[in-house]
Amino acid sequence: MATIKVLGGQTLCPIAYKLQSSFPQFQHTDICTLELKMEVYMSSTSPGSYSWRRFLLFLLILLLSITNSHISLASAATSTSSTQTYKTYIKTTCNSTLYPKVCYKSLSYYASEIKTDPLKLCNTALEVAIEAAQNTSSIVSKISEQIGLLSTEAAVIEDCIDNVKDSIYELQDSQNAMGQLGGSNAEFQIDSVKTWVSAAITDENTCLDGLDEMKVNTTVQKKIRKSILNLCKMTSNALALINTLKY
């Protein structure tokens, strides 16, 4: 809140003080200077008028509103331009993956957080893959609880659940390692991350192989395959992005 200035028992710039709360982006001193200049002008042109202060208030509000609108528009334009730059960066980098469209669709939402930071891009890709793995685990677990599954089908689905859980642990380990990158052994740390993500991909493919090798209800198989394939793409993209890191 601006400080009230008093001269000879009279508050200076009373209009500026009142307007400060409505236009906090402007300094009180700037509004006050404008008010004093306009007051001098209005007093000299209409010395006998009692309505000049009301007119002065109207002019001040009008000027500040116009200026505020210009600032807001400029800020919005800058923000939009920056976001587009970030999205372009993500799209360009996603072209290095096997599934660029899936990559861009899953990561562009986080453009304002990722900006053009390769490390943030990789961490976000891992976070998206972990979320996909957790969703897949939930879907497959619900399917395993269906009544009427054959014992062979139940066994394959249980193995798949274990594979996905292993994938989650490996992706989480890789994410934790990404958060500790640095120092002289950064290259070794990156290799460890790649190993964990590769292991996650292996576990996910093992689930798919089990579905293909054993006779599983077609409807059940389609539901599981759809979720697992989406997870495989997310994990594959995360690995491809990590491969672009340079240390």
Euclidean distance between CA atoms 54 and 63, whole angstroms: 14
Name the residue among 193, 186, 149, 148 with its Cα closest to residue 171: 193
| Contact (CB, 8 A) for 141 and 161 | yes
HEC string of 192-226 equals HHHHHHHHHHHHHHHHHHHHHHCCCCHHHHHHHHH
How many residues are recorded in the chain? 247
pLDDT of residue 139: 94
Looking at the DSSP bridge assignments, the partners of residue 7 are 10
Provide the token pair at 55. 């007119």
Q: What is the pTM of this model?
A: 0.69
Provide the token pair at 153. 């089908």
Euclidean distance between CA atoms 87 and 222, whole angstroms: 33
Name the residue among 70, 63, 77, 50 with its Cα closest to residue 16: 63
Residues 198-245: pLDDT tens digits?
A: 999 999 999 999 888 877 788 888 889 999 999 999 999 999 999 999
DSSP letter at 110?
G
Q: Is 70 exposed, middle or buried (0-12, 13-18, 19+ CB in 10 A)?
A: exposed
Residues 64-98: pLDDT tens digits?
A: 666 666 666 556 555 666 788 999 999 999 999 99
Give Cα separations from 104 to 33, 156, 226 (angstroms). Answer: 51, 33, 19
Residues 151-205: pLDDT tens digits?
A: 888 999 999 999 999 999 999 999 999 988 877 788 888 999 999 999 999 999 9
